[in-house]
C-alpha cells in the first residue's frame, strides 16, 4: 500500500519496519490511536529498513505513542544525502514531530 503526502509517494504505513525496502530514502514514524494518526519522527537514511530496525529513538516513539506505531518511507535511490535531508527538513517543518528534533 502507498499514499501521497508532502509531494512524495510513501510506501506503508506498516507496523513492521522490515516490510520497508532496504534502500535510500526518507522515513516517517507514525502513531495511530483509534482513528487519530500523528507523526512521531522523520529522518533519512541510506538504508531505511536497517535504520528503522536499529533506531536509537525507539524509546522516544514508545513514550509518545499510546496506540500502534507505524512506519512509512519514500525511496530516493538516485538522490544524494543532501537531497534526502531537504525532504526530511520539509516534512519535519510541516509536522513538528516530538522525536528527533535537532
- Spatial neighbors of 77 by CB under 8 A, at least 6 apart, are 23, 24, 25
Domains of the chain from N-terminus onward: 2-95 (3.40.1440.10)
Grid coordinates given for 53: 530496525
Grid coordinates given for 90: 520539509
pLDDT digit of tens for each residue in the chain (102 aa)? 888 888 899 998 999 999 999 999 999 999 999 999 999 999 999 999 999 999 999 999 999 999 999 999 999 989 999 999 999 999 888 887 899 875
Q: What is the pLDDT of residue 6?
A: 87
**Burial degree of 72 (CB within 10 A; 0-12, 13-18, 19+):** buried
Q: What is the pLDDT of residue 80?
A: 95
What is the dihedral angle through the alpha carbons of 55, 48, 102, 62, rounded to the nearest 10 degrees? -40
Amino acid at each position: 500500500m502507498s499514499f501521497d503526502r508532502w509531494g512524495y509517494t510513501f510506501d506503508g504505513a506498516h507496523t513492521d519496519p522490515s516490510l520497508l525496502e532496504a534502500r535510500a530514502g526518507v522515513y516517517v514514524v507514525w502513531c495511530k490511536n483509534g482513528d487519530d494518526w500523528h507523526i512521531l519522527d522523520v529522518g533519512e537514511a541510506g538504508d531505511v529498513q536497517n535504520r528503522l530496525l536499529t533506531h536509537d529513538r525507539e524509546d522516544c516513539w514508545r513514550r509518545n505513542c499510546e496506540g500502534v506505531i507505524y512506519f512509512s518511507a519514500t525511496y530516493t535511490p538516485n538522490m544524494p544525502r543532501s537531497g534526502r535531508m531537504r525532504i526530511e527538513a520539509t516534512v519535519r517543518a510541516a509536522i513538528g514531530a516530538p522525536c528527533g528534533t535537532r
